[in-house]
Amino acid sequence: MIRVGEVVPDFEADAYFPEKDEIGKLRISDYRGKWVVLAFYPADFTFVCPTELEELAEYYEEFKKEGAEIISVSTDTAYVHKAWHDTSPAIKKVRFPMLADPAGKICRLFGTYIEDEGISWRATFIIDPDGKVVHMEMHDNSIGRSAKEILRRLRAAKFVRENPGVVCPASWEPGKEALKVSLDLVGKI
Protein backbone atom coordinates (compact mmCIF):
# COMPACT_ATOMS: atom_id res chain seq x y z
CA MET A 1 0.00 0.00 0.00
CA ILE A 2 1.27 3.47 -0.90
CA ARG A 3 1.90 5.79 2.04
CA VAL A 4 2.81 9.43 2.50
CA GLY A 5 6.42 10.03 1.48
CA GLU A 6 6.50 7.17 -1.04
CA VAL A 7 6.74 7.51 -4.80
CA VAL A 8 3.78 6.10 -6.69
CA PRO A 9 4.88 3.27 -8.99
CA ASP A 10 3.89 3.67 -12.61
CA PHE A 11 0.56 2.19 -13.66
CA GLU A 12 -1.67 2.38 -16.71
CA ALA A 13 -5.44 1.94 -16.98
CA ASP A 14 -8.38 2.87 -19.15
CA ALA A 15 -9.96 6.24 -18.51
CA TYR A 16 -12.76 8.34 -19.86
CA PHE A 17 -11.50 11.78 -20.93
CA PRO A 18 -14.54 14.09 -20.93
CA GLU A 19 -12.75 17.04 -22.58
CA LYS A 20 -12.07 14.88 -25.64
CA ASP A 21 -15.15 12.66 -25.17
CA GLU A 22 -12.99 9.59 -25.62
CA ILE A 23 -11.79 6.50 -23.83
CA GLY A 24 -8.06 5.87 -23.78
CA LYS A 25 -5.14 4.84 -21.63
CA LEU A 26 -3.99 6.91 -18.68
CA ARG A 27 -0.43 6.37 -17.48
CA ILE A 28 0.34 8.00 -14.13
CA SER A 29 3.96 8.67 -15.13
CA ASP A 30 2.66 11.00 -17.86
CA TYR A 31 1.73 13.38 -15.04
CA ARG A 32 5.24 13.66 -13.57
CA GLY A 33 6.16 17.30 -13.30
CA LYS A 34 2.60 18.19 -12.28
CA TRP A 35 0.69 17.96 -9.05
CA VAL A 36 -1.97 15.25 -9.09
CA VAL A 37 -5.08 14.86 -6.97
CA LEU A 38 -6.40 11.30 -7.05
CA ALA A 39 -10.01 11.24 -5.85
CA PHE A 40 -11.13 7.66 -5.16
CA TYR A 41 -14.87 7.11 -4.77
CA PRO A 42 -17.10 4.03 -4.42
CA ALA A 43 -19.17 3.93 -7.61
CA ASP A 44 -20.84 5.77 -10.46
CA PHE A 45 -24.62 6.30 -10.36
CA THR A 46 -24.65 6.68 -6.58
CA PHE A 47 -25.57 9.44 -4.13
CA VAL A 48 -22.63 11.25 -2.52
CA CYS A 49 -20.20 10.64 -5.39
CA PRO A 50 -21.85 12.94 -7.95
CA THR A 51 -21.94 15.78 -5.42
CA GLU A 52 -18.20 15.44 -4.84
CA LEU A 53 -17.23 15.14 -8.49
CA GLU A 54 -19.47 18.08 -9.36
CA GLU A 55 -17.80 20.20 -6.68
CA LEU A 56 -14.33 19.15 -7.89
CA ALA A 57 -15.45 20.13 -11.40
CA GLU A 58 -16.49 23.55 -10.13
CA TYR A 59 -13.00 24.05 -8.65
CA TYR A 60 -11.16 22.43 -11.59
CA GLU A 61 -9.82 25.69 -13.02
CA GLU A 62 -8.42 26.62 -9.59
CA PHE A 63 -6.59 23.29 -9.42
CA LYS A 64 -5.24 23.80 -12.94
CA LYS A 65 -3.97 27.28 -11.97
CA GLU A 66 -1.94 25.54 -9.26
CA GLY A 67 -0.41 23.20 -11.86
CA ALA A 68 -2.51 20.25 -10.71
CA GLU A 69 -4.58 17.64 -12.48
CA ILE A 70 -7.54 15.94 -10.84
CA ILE A 71 -8.10 12.28 -11.66
CA SER A 72 -11.16 10.53 -10.26
CA VAL A 73 -10.94 6.77 -9.66
CA SER A 74 -13.57 4.09 -9.11
CA THR A 75 -13.95 0.41 -9.87
CA ASP A 76 -16.39 1.15 -12.69
CA THR A 77 -15.30 0.72 -16.31
CA ALA A 78 -14.49 3.66 -18.58
CA TYR A 79 -17.72 2.89 -20.47
CA VAL A 80 -19.76 3.29 -17.30
CA HIS A 81 -17.94 6.59 -16.63
CA LYS A 82 -18.96 7.75 -20.13
CA ALA A 83 -22.58 6.70 -19.60
CA TRP A 84 -22.67 8.47 -16.22
CA HIS A 85 -21.15 11.60 -17.78
CA ASP A 86 -23.76 11.53 -20.56
CA THR A 87 -26.76 11.13 -18.22
CA SER A 88 -26.03 12.93 -14.93
CA PRO A 89 -26.40 16.74 -14.83
CA ALA A 90 -23.77 16.89 -12.06
CA ILE A 91 -21.23 14.68 -13.86
CA LYS A 92 -21.70 16.51 -17.18
CA LYS A 93 -19.69 19.32 -15.54
CA VAL A 94 -16.64 17.03 -15.09
CA ARG A 95 -13.74 17.75 -17.46
CA PHE A 96 -10.96 15.86 -15.64
CA PRO A 97 -10.00 12.24 -16.45
CA MET A 98 -12.15 9.51 -14.90
CA LEU A 99 -9.92 6.47 -14.29
CA ALA A 100 -11.38 2.97 -14.53
CA ASP A 101 -10.23 0.28 -12.10
CA PRO A 102 -12.70 -2.62 -12.54
CA ALA A 103 -10.21 -5.21 -11.22
CA GLY A 104 -9.40 -3.05 -8.16
CA LYS A 105 -5.64 -3.11 -8.81
CA ILE A 106 -5.13 0.63 -8.38
CA CYS A 107 -7.45 0.75 -5.37
CA ARG A 108 -5.45 -2.07 -3.77
CA LEU A 109 -2.18 -0.25 -4.53
CA PHE A 110 -3.48 2.77 -2.62
CA GLY A 111 -5.17 0.71 0.12
CA THR A 112 -8.69 1.92 -0.68
CA TYR A 113 -10.24 -1.34 -1.93
CA ILE A 114 -13.08 -2.91 0.06
CA GLU A 115 -12.62 -6.61 -0.73
CA ASP A 116 -16.10 -7.74 0.37
CA GLU A 117 -17.83 -5.11 -1.77
CA GLY A 118 -15.58 -4.66 -4.82
CA ILE A 119 -15.58 -0.87 -4.44
CA SER A 120 -13.26 1.80 -3.06
CA TRP A 121 -13.36 3.76 0.15
CA ARG A 122 -13.69 7.50 -0.36
CA ALA A 123 -10.05 8.66 -0.40
CA THR A 124 -7.91 11.56 -1.60
CA PHE A 125 -4.20 11.48 -2.43
CA ILE A 126 -2.12 14.52 -3.37
CA ILE A 127 0.98 13.61 -5.36
CA ASP A 128 3.83 16.07 -5.92
CA PRO A 129 5.59 16.65 -9.27
CA ASP A 130 8.20 14.00 -8.37
CA GLY A 131 5.45 11.38 -7.97
CA LYS A 132 5.63 11.34 -4.16
CA VAL A 133 2.49 11.18 -2.01
CA VAL A 134 2.36 14.24 0.24
CA HIS A 135 -1.21 13.87 1.49
CA MET A 136 -3.69 11.05 1.94
CA GLU A 137 -7.11 10.91 3.51
CA MET A 138 -9.57 8.04 3.63
CA HIS A 139 -12.93 7.82 5.30
CA ASP A 140 -16.34 6.18 5.37
CA ASN A 141 -18.25 6.31 2.10
CA SER A 142 -21.22 8.07 3.70
CA ILE A 143 -19.15 11.25 4.25
CA GLY A 144 -18.49 13.62 1.36
CA ARG A 145 -15.30 15.62 0.87
CA SER A 146 -14.76 19.34 0.39
CA ALA A 147 -13.09 20.38 -2.87
CA LYS A 148 -12.22 23.69 -1.23
CA GLU A 149 -10.33 21.87 1.55
CA ILE A 150 -8.51 19.64 -0.95
CA LEU A 151 -7.45 22.77 -2.85
CA ARG A 152 -6.27 24.38 0.42
CA ARG A 153 -4.17 21.30 1.21
CA LEU A 154 -2.71 21.29 -2.30
CA ARG A 155 -1.72 24.93 -1.92
CA ALA A 156 -0.14 24.24 1.47
CA ALA A 157 1.81 21.30 0.01
CA LYS A 158 3.04 23.50 -2.85
CA PHE A 159 4.01 26.27 -0.42
CA VAL A 160 6.15 24.06 1.81
CA ARG A 161 7.78 22.45 -1.24
CA GLU A 162 8.70 25.90 -2.57
CA ASN A 163 9.80 27.20 0.85
CA PRO A 164 12.09 24.66 2.56
CA GLY A 165 12.23 25.00 6.34
CA VAL A 166 8.74 26.49 6.51
CA VAL A 167 5.59 24.71 7.70
CA CYS A 168 1.92 25.61 7.48
CA PRO A 169 -0.12 25.91 10.70
CA ALA A 170 -3.75 24.79 11.04
CA SER A 171 -6.11 26.16 8.37
CA TRP A 172 -3.23 27.94 6.61
CA GLU A 173 -4.24 29.77 3.43
CA PRO A 174 -2.02 31.52 0.87
CA GLY A 175 -1.12 34.95 2.18
CA LYS A 176 -1.32 33.89 5.80
CA GLU A 177 1.77 33.59 7.96
CA ALA A 178 3.64 30.31 7.89
CA LEU A 179 6.03 29.07 10.56
CA LYS A 180 9.81 28.89 10.16
CA VAL A 181 11.04 25.67 11.74
CA SER A 182 13.19 26.72 14.68
CA LEU A 183 13.99 25.61 18.20
CA ASP A 184 12.97 29.13 19.23
CA LEU A 185 9.33 28.14 18.62
CA VAL A 186 9.37 25.08 20.88
CA GLY A 187 6.93 25.63 23.74
CA LYS A 188 6.02 29.15 22.55
CA ILE A 189 3.06 28.34 20.33
- Give Rg (Cα) of the chain: 17
What type of residue is 33? G
Cβ contact 111:73 at 8 Å:
no
CA 11 to chain centre: 16
Cβ contact 128:157 at 8 Å:
yes
Show Cβ contacts of residue 36 under 8 Å, excluding neighbours closer than 6 positions.
28, 68, 69, 70, 71, 125, 126, 127
Cβ contact 45:75 at 8 Å:
no
The neighbouring-strand residues paired with 78 are none
Positions annotated as catalytic residues are: 49
